[in-house]
Amino acid sequence: MTNPANGKSCIACVLDVGPFNEHDDLYVFGGERPLAERGLSVSGKGTNHAGIDLGEKVWSELGMLDNTEVDWEWVD
């Protein structure tokens, strides 16, 4: 993932899913952006509009100063 504000990037393992749309198959298997980014939830309870939540180490590596958009993609 990359922080477009400063160009810093890193690779990180995904360790968690949810709490929104734990079964978003088009996102996980179909190359679509996550429903949570658009505020859509399977449960109908809404989301926090985050497509990805960053752990403290990733936050630090990206030089984050506040919540903002990051560019990210799945890699094998």
pLDDT in tens, 32-72: 888 888 888 877 778 878 777 788 999 999 999 988 889 88
Look at residue 13 and tell me whether its pLDDT is greater than 90. Answer: no
- Looking at residue 16, its pLDDT comes to 65
CB atoms within 10 A of CB 72: 14
How far, in Å, CA of 75 to CA of 1, rounded?
10
Mean pLDDT of 6-24: 82
User: What pTM does this model have?
Assistant: 0.65
- Looking at residue 17, its pLDDT comes to 66
